[in-house]
Amino acid sequence: MRLDIPTIILNFKAFREALGNHALELAKTAEKVSLETGVQVAVCPCLTDLQNVVNHVSIPVLAQHCDPHKPGPFTGSVVAESLKTIGVVGSLLNHSEKRMKLSDLTLSVTRLRENGLISVVCADDVSAAVAAAALKPDAVAVEPPELIGTGISVSTAKPEVVSEAVARVKTANPNVVVLCGAGVSTAEDVRKAVMLGAEGVLLSTAYVKSRDPEKLLREMCLATKG
């Protein structure tokens, strides 16, 4: 599987509002909006909710993390084979809240690829995004950590980061999808990101904690179309 363009990835993190039945409700809402707008929406539930969400929605479901190991004596680890077995299509990697050593990140991208799964590598800045692209993931999400969860979008606060990341990542590896993350909260944030060259967005807080997540997501999906 490959990510469609444009794409919106919703990271549920471990927010109380996105655990258990709440995760399923948010995923079903995302599925409804995706089908109605024709824009790909993927969801990243907490590890313990992955199987339930996969069983009940048709949109792509990604894990929030994948360890670099092969199956074996690695207590508490999440291996690519286990994700594939339950129907997960890929994983986020190296989120600022779940950082990875370069050696582990490299192996995790490889392990996901070997199992036919998508890798979405998060990067703090342009240089990190270019380095991530060299690992040949499916996508790189540029997320300045100081803006994550603030409600201040990188496409508004630091538009040059988005445009430069797109240009340099595409030069390094034109096959990598470039996403914009950190503080994405409104349809206007999404529209600006797309205008700057981003091929989609990665967001969390705005959707998970929204009083009307369906309305917000629909507006964001439509904003990807200009």
Q: What is the pLDDT of residue 150?
A: 67
**Binding region for substrate:** 11-13, 148, 183
- Whether 95 is catalytic is yes
pLDDT, residue 128, reads 93
Task: For domain 7-223, give the CATH number.
Answer: 3.20.20.70
DSSP type of residue 41 = E
What are the tens digits of pLDDT across the range 149-173? Answer: 667 677 777 788 889 989 999 999 9
Q: Which backbone phi and psi does 198 adopt, to 5 degrees? A: -65, 145
By percentage, how much of the chain surpasses pLDDT 90? 85
Catalytic residue, candidates 17, 31, 95, 219: 95
The pTM is what? 0.95
> Are 213 and 29 contacting, i.e. CB atoms less than 8 angstroms apart?
yes
- What span, in angstroms and rounded, lies between the C-alpha atoms of 7 and 220? 10
Residue whose pair of structure tokens reads 């349809």 in the numeric block: 187
SS3 122: strand
Q: Half-sphere exposure of 222 toward its Cβ, with a 13 Å CA cutoff?
A: 10
Q: Can you tell me the distance from the alpha carbon of 219 to that of 158, in angstroms, rounded to the nearest whole number?
A: 22
Q: What is the pLDDT of residue 143?
A: 81
Task: Specify whether the backbone of 210 is left (phi greater than 0), alpha (psi in -120 to 50) or beta.
Answer: beta
Tens-digit pLDDT string for the chain (226 aa): 789 999 999 999 999 999 999 999 999 999 999 999 999 999 999 999 999 999 999 999 999 999 999 999 999 999 999 999 999 999 999 999 999 999 999 999 999 999 999 999 999 999 999 999 999 999 999 987 676 666 767 777 778 888 998 999 999 999 999 999 878 999 999 999 999 999 999 999 999 999 999 999 999 999 998 7
174 — alpha (psi -120 to 50), left (phi > 0) or beta? Answer: alpha
69 DSSP assignment? P
For residues 189 and 191, what is the distance between their CA atoms, to the nearest angstrom?
6
> Helix (H, G, I), strand (E, B), or coil: what is residue 220?
helix
Which residues are part of a known binding site?
A: 11-13, 148, 183
143: which 2 tokens?
Answer: 């997320």
Is 143 among the catalytic positions?
yes
How is residue 211 written in tokens?
């009083």
The residue from 143, 146, 188, 219 that is catalytic is 143
Q: How does DSSP assign 135-187, residue by residue?
A: T--SEEEE--GGGTTSS--HHHH-HHHHHHHHHHHHHH-TTSEEEEESS--SH
The pLDDT value recorded for residue 147 is 63
| pLDDT (0 to 100) of residue 204 | 95
The C-alpha atoms of residue 4 and residue 90 are separated, in whole angstroms, by 14
